Amino acid sequence: MRRAVIMLAATALALAAVTAARAQTATISDQDKTFLKGQQETNIAEVALGKVAMERATSEKVRSLANMLVTEHQQVMELNRALSTKLGLPVPEEPSAEMKATGEKVKAQTGAAFDAAYVAAQVDGHTKSVSKAQQEIASGSHPEVKAFATDYVPKAQMHLQHAQTAQSEIASADATGATGLPRTGAGSTPLVALGAALAVVGLIARRWSR
Q: What's the pTM?
A: 0.72
pLDDT digits (tens, 9 = 90+) for 80-101: 999 999 999 999 999 999 999 9
Which of 80, 4, 83 lies closest to 43, judged by CA? 80
At residue 174, the pLDDT reads 76
Residues 31-59, mean pLDDT to the nearest whole number: 98
The distance from CA 129 to its chain's CA centroid, rounded to whole angstroms, is 10
Amino acid 2: pLDDT: 52
d(CA 116, CA 61): 11
**Does CATH number 3.40.50.720 belong to domain 29-175?**
no
* Strand, helix or coil for residue 134: helix
pLDDT of residue 11: 46
Where along the chain do its domains lie? 29-175
| DSSP-derived 3-state class of residue 97 | helix
The per-residue pLDDT for 175 is: 77
Packing angle, helices 143-179 and 111-139, rounded to 10: 150
**What distance in Å separates the CA atoms of residue 162 and residue 69, rounded to the nearest whole number?**
10
* Residue of 115, 137, 129 lying closest to 159 (CA atoms): 129
Mean pLDDT of 14-21: 45
Q: How far apart are CA 105 and CA 116, in angstroms?
A: 12
Under a CB-based contact definition with an 8 Å cutoff, are residues 33 and 24 in contact?
A: no
Provide the pLDDT for residue 160. Answer: 98
- CA proximity to 24, closest of 103, 122, 141: 141
Of the candidate ranges 18-22, 65-69, 141-145, the one whose mean pLDDT is the lowest: 18-22
pLDDT for residue 200:
43
Over the stretch 141-200, which tens digit does the pLDDT of each residue have?
999 999 999 999 999 999 999 999 999 999 988 777 654 544 444 444 444 444 544 554
Q: What is the pLDDT of residue 142?
A: 98
CA 144 to CA 89: how far, in whole Å?
A: 13
Distance CA 169, CA 57 (A): 14
Query: CA nearest 40: which of 98, 122, 95?
Result: 95
Half-sphere exposure of 143 (CA within 13 A, CB side): 1
